[in-house]
Amino acid sequence: MSPRPGKRSGVLELAVLGLLQENPMHGYELRKRLSGVLGTFHAISYGSLYPCLKDLEARGLLVEDGEAQPTAPLSGRRGRIVYRLTAEGKEHFQSLIADAGPDTWEDERFGVRLAFFGRTEASVRLRILEGRRSRLEERLDALRSSLARTRERLDGYTLELQQHGLESVEREVRWLDELIASEREQPQGTTQNSAAPSGHAATTTTSGAGNHPSAHGV
């Protein structure tokens, strides 16, 4: 049994498996798609992507599926290697997106889980959203307490920065409230999240977090 990956590598593994679940891809295409899923705060280099692919291959979760044809057949350039999920890889991805534990509520993992909500059971989506809201409410309490204690000692710029962080978390809590309300209106047992609440983009930022990827179009 291979050791459990660290938080950052675990996020990358989940995103790779989720994208390859759609269809086989070569590394260049996969890297482009990963940038969209993980956002600009998770720069994906070939130096991190290819070790992840090799690890998944060694664990039997994907295979190299030959080579894609080069764009110019007469150029003499080699085609790119295409990666495809195995049955074990598909099963492992399903087990990952069935998880709604505390790790899925954190900044590092919440965004990528949201990106694959279209393939996640409704009850799991709801547990993750409620857990994320609970985690942010704890953060709000800590930020408000800290601001109340230190307000008089802060200069104007630091105070503005603290206030900005507080307002960012408050905005995400309101956004989560609307997503949760929308989820509760959906038929139970569905895996297709029809839409984010009307008039709201499916991206947000939190204090200390990167952009959350859209729950659609991954």
Tokens found for residue 42 = 């998770």
Burial class (CB in 10 A: 0-12, 13-18, 19+), 151: exposed
Average the pLDDT over 42-60 and give the result: 88
- What residues does each domain of the chain span? 7-99, 121-185
| pLDDT at site 192 | 54
What's the angle, vertex CA 45, arms to CA 218 and CA 116, rounded to 5? 20
List the CATH code of the domain at 7-99: 1.10.10.10
Tell me the per-residue pLDDT of 61-119, one tens digit each, with 9 for 90 and over.
999 987 655 544 544 444 579 999 999 999 999 999 999 999 999 998 999 999 999 99
> Could you give the 3-state DSSP secondary structure of residue 1?
coil
pTM recorded for the entire structure: 0.77
Beta-sheet pairing, 25-26 with 62-67? unpaired
Q: What is the pLDDT of residue 207?
A: 40
Contact (CB, 8 A) for 80 and 40: no
The pLDDT confidence band at residue 201, using thresholds 50, 70 and 90, is very low
pLDDT in tens, 176-196: 999 999 999 887 655 654 445
**Residues contacting residue 161 through CB under 8 Å, at least 6 positions apart:** none
For 147, how many CA atoms within 13 A lie in the half-sphere containing its CB? 17
